[in-house]
């Protein structure tokens, strides 16, 4: 008996098919096919590396907040809740003046968080070319 197909591989294959092999004549429908391919690719990347990126982000946010890194494993909902809470806490501390918005550690941490988020939505995006170092 064959093992079931890997969900990430299936999503990635369908995304590749839609983006590179399927030819649609109608421009409006071709655009929708491109959007669907992009979304499926993002879901595949999220399934493949999303949990690791979330864990990395929780650790980075904990470091920026001067807290102990949370120990997992966490469910997807719990990771999302923790990330939202940590982000809100960091924002509140910056706005309250507890953390200097020009602090180099903060800026490097925020760049790293942004880079990991962009890696999911567009792995070809090069943050250094767009934002660069100060």
> Is residue 1, in this structure, part of any structural domain at all?
no
> Is residue 111, in this structure, part of any structural domain at all?
yes
**Rounded mean pLDDT, 77-93:** 92
Q: What share of the chain is helix, strand, coil (3-state, %, to 5)?
A: 70, 0, 30
Domain count for the chain = 1
> Is residue 68, in this structure, part of any structural domain at all?
yes
Report residue 60's pLDDT band, with 50, 70 and 90 as the boundaries: very high
18-52 burial: b if 16+ Cβ within 10 Å, else e: beeeeeeeeeeeeeebeeebeebbbbbbbebbbee
Q: Which of 1, 94, 12, 3 is nearest to 46 (CA)?
A: 12
Report residue 31's pLDDT band, with 50, 70 and 90 as the boundaries: very high
> Is residue 2, in this structure, part of any structural domain at all?
no
> Is residue 34, in this structure, part of any structural domain at all?
yes
Contact criterion met (CB below 8 Å) for 42 and 10: no
**Rounded mean pLDDT, 4-33:** 87
- The mean pLDDT of the chain is 85
How many residues are there in the chain? Answer: 134
Supply the pLDDT for residue 127.
Answer: 64
Distance CA(70)–CA(82), nearest Å, equals 9
- Residues 90-102 have pLDDT tens digits of 999 999 999 999 9
> Is pLDDT at 21 greater than 80 in this prediction?
yes
pTM: 0.66
Note down the domain range covering 101.
7-130
Supply the pLDDT for residue 55.
Answer: 87
């Amino acid at each position: 008996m064959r093992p079931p197909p890997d969900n990430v591989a299936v999503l990635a294959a369908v995304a590749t098919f839609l983006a590179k092999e399927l030819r649609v004549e109608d421009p409006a429908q071709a655009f929708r096919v491109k959007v669907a391919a992009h979304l499926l690719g993002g879901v595949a990347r999220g399934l493949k590396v999303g949990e690791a990126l979330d864990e990395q982000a929780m650790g980075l946010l904990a470091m920026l907040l001067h807290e102990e890194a949370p120990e997992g494993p966490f469910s997807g909902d719990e990771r999302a809740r923790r990330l939202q809470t940590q982000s809100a806490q960091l924002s509140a501390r910056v706005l309250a003046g507890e953390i200097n918005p020009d602090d180099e550690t903060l800026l490097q941490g925020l760049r790293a968080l942004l880079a990991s988020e962009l890696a999911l939505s567009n792995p070809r995006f090069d943050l250094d070319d767009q934002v660069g170092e100060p």
